[in-house]
Chain A
Amino acid sequence: MSSTVVSTSSGLRLPRWAAPAGVAVLFVAAYVVFRGTGTLPHDKEAPQFLAVTELREWIDDHRNDNPLFLYFLNYIRLFVAWLYDLFQTGLSALGWPGITGVMGALAWLAGGRRIALLALGGVSAFGVLGLWESSVDTLALVAVAVLLSLAIGIPVGVWAGLSVRVRRAITPVLDVMQIMPTFAYLAPLALFFHIGAPAGAIATMIYSIPPAIRITALAVSEVSPTAVEASASLGATRWQTLFKVHLPLARSTIALAINQTIMMALSMVVIANLISAPGLGGDIIRGLSRAQVGIMLPAGVAVVVMAVLLDRMMTAVARRDPHAKRGRTDLLAAGALAAAGLALIPVLPKVWPETLTINVVAEVNDAVRWAEDNWFTVTTWIKDTTSLVLLNPLESLLTSAPWWLVALAVLVVAWRVSGLRPALVALACLLAIALLGVWEHTMQTMTTVAVAVLVALIIGLLLGVAAARSPRWSAVQRPLLDAAQTMPAFVYLLPALALFGTTRFTAIFASVIYAVPPVVRLVEDGLKAVPATVVEAAVSAGSTPGQLLWKVQLPMARRAILLAANQGIVMTLAMVVVGALVGAGALGYDVVTGFSQRTDFGMGFVAGIATVLLGVMLDRITQGADRRPSPRKRKFT
Chain B
Amino acid sequence: MGVSPDNAAITVAGLWKIFGTKAQKVLDSEDKHLDPAALREKTGCTAAVRDVSFDVRPGEVFVVMGLSGSGKSTLVRCLTRLIEPSAGEIRIGGEDIGAASPTRLRELRRHRVSMVFQHFGLLPHRKVIDNVAYGLEIQGAARQARHARAAEILSLVGLDGYADAYPDQLSGGMQQRVGLARALAVDPEVMLFDEPFSALDPLIRRDMQAEVIRLHREVGKTMVFITHDLSEALKLGERIAIMRAGSIVQLGTAEELVGAPADDYVADFVRDVPRSHVLTLRWICRDPEPGEPLDGPALPVTTVIKDAVGVAAGSSQPIRAMTDDGALAGVVDRVDLLGFLSGQETGAVRAGT
Interface residues in B115-134 (C-beta closer than 8 Å to A) = 115, 117-126, 134
- CA of A245 to CA of B123, assembled, Å: 7
Interface residues in B173-232 (C-beta closer than 8 Å to A) = 179, 182, 186, 192
A322 interface residue per 8 A CB criterion: yes
Contact residues in B for A224 (Cβ distance below 8 Å): 119, 121
Contact residues in B for A233 (Cβ distance below 8 Å): 80, 82, 109, 113-115, 117, 192
Whether A234 contacts B125 by the Cβ 8 Å rule is no
- CA of A229 to CA of B186, assembled, Å: 16
- CA of A597 to CA of B77, assembled, Å: 67
Whether A232 contacts B82 by the Cβ 8 Å rule is yes
Contact residues in B for A240 (Cβ distance below 8 Å): 138
- CA of A227 to CA of B115, assembled, Å: 12
Whether B121 contacts A227 by the Cβ 8 Å rule is yes
Most chain B CB atoms below 10 A, which of A226, A234, A323: A234
- CA of A224 to CA of B118, assembled, Å: 12
Write the nearest CB–CB distance from A238 to chain B, whole angstroms: 10
Contact residues in B for A322 (Cβ distance below 8 Å): 124-125
Contact residues in B for A237 (Cβ distance below 8 Å): 106, 138
Write the nearest CB–CB distance from A232 to chain B, whole angstroms: 6
Contact residues in A for B122 (Cβ distance below 8 Å): 227, 230
A249 interface residue per 8 A CB criterion: yes
- CA of A228 to CA of B124, assembled, Å: 12
Question: With A226-B117, A229-B117, A323-B166 given, is the CB distance from A234 to B135 under 8 Å?
Answer: yes
Whether A234 contacts B186 by the Cβ 8 Å rule is yes
Among B105, B113, B121, B186, contact of A230 (Cβ-Cβ < 8 Å): B121
Contact residues in A for B121 (Cβ distance below 8 Å): 224, 226-231
Write the nearest CB–CB distance from B80 to chain A, whole angstroms: 6
Interface residues in A215-249 (C-beta closer than 8 Å to B) = 224, 226-237, 240, 244-245, 248-249
- CA of A619 to CA of B134, assembled, Å: 47
Contact residues in A for B118 (Cβ distance below 8 Å): 226
Contact residues in A for B286 (Cβ distance below 8 Å): none
A251 interface residue per 8 A CB criterion: yes
Most chain A CB atoms below 10 A, which of B114, B121, B135, B192: B121
Interface residues in B80-107 (C-beta closer than 8 Å to A) = 80, 82, 105-107
Q: How many residues of B contact A (CB 8 A)?
A: 33
Interface residues on A, range: 20 to 34
Report the nearest B residue to A247, measured CB to CB.
B125
- CA of A600 to CA of B84, assembled, Å: 61
Question: With A229-B117, A323-B166 given, is the CB distance from A234 to B123 under 8 Å?
Answer: no
Among A227, A232, A235, contact of B123 (Cβ-Cβ < 8 Å): A227
Write the nearest CB–CB distance from A501 to chain B, whole angstroms: 55
Question: With A234-B182, A234-B186 given, is the CB distance from A229 to B134 under 8 Å?
Answer: no
Report the nearest B residue to A234, measured CB to CB.
B135
Whether A235 contacts B117 by the Cβ 8 Å rule is no
B108 interface residue per 8 A CB criterion: yes
B139 interface residue per 8 A CB criterion: yes
Write the nearest CB–CB distance from B15 to chain A, whole angstroms: 18
Whether B125 contacts A251 by the Cβ 8 Å rule is yes
Whether A234 contacts B109 by the Cβ 8 Å rule is yes
Whether B120 contacts A244 by the Cβ 8 Å rule is no
Contact residues in A for B106 (Cβ distance below 8 Å): 235-237
Among B119, B120, B125, B135, contact of A249 (Cβ-Cβ < 8 Å): B125
Contact residues in B for A226 (Cβ distance below 8 Å): 117-121
B334 interface residue per 8 A CB criterion: no
Among A228, A230, A244, contact of B115 (Cβ-Cβ < 8 Å): A230
Contact residues in A for B113 (Cβ distance below 8 Å): 233
Whether B120 contacts A235 by the Cβ 8 Å rule is no
- CA of A565 to CA of B260, assembled, Å: 65
Whether A244 contacts B124 by the Cβ 8 Å rule is no
Report the nearest B residue to A236, measured CB to CB.
B138
Whether A235 contacts B119 by the Cβ 8 Å rule is no
Write the nearest CB–CB distance from A323 to chain B, whole angstroms: 5
- CA of A235 to CA of B114, assembled, Å: 9
Among A229, A232, A236, A249, contact of B124 (Cβ-Cβ < 8 Å): A249
Write the nearest CB–CB distance from B139 to chain A, whole angstroms: 7
Contact residues in B for A323 (Cβ distance below 8 Å): 166
Contact residues in A for B192 (Cβ distance below 8 Å): 233
- CA of A228 to CA of B77, assembled, Å: 13
Write the nearest CB–CB distance from A164 to chain B, whole angstroms: 14
Report the nearest B residue to A240, measured CB to CB.
B138
Most chain B CB atoms below 10 A, which of A229, A231, A235, A322: A235
29 contacts between A and B (CB under 8 A): A224-B121, A226-B119, A227-B121, A227-B122, A230-B121, A230-B122, A231-B121, A231-B138, A232-B82, A233-B80, A234-B134, A234-B135, A234-B138, A235-B105, A235-B106, A235-B108, A235-B138, A235-B139, A236-B106, A236-B138, A244-B137, A244-B138, A248-B123, A248-B126, A249-B124, A249-B125, A322-B124, A322-B125, A323-B166
Query: Beyond the given A244-B134, A245-B123, A249-B123, could you list 20 further A-B residue pairs with CB under 8 A, ordered by the A residue number?
Result: A226-B119, A226-B120, A229-B82, A230-B117, A230-B122, A230-B179, A231-B121, A231-B138, A233-B109, A233-B115, A233-B192, A234-B135, A235-B105, A235-B138, A235-B139, A236-B106, A244-B137, A244-B138, A249-B124, A322-B125
Interface pairs A-B: 9 shortest CB-CB: A235-B110, A230-B121, A235-B109, A226-B121, A234-B135, A233-B115, A235-B106, A236-B138, A226-B119
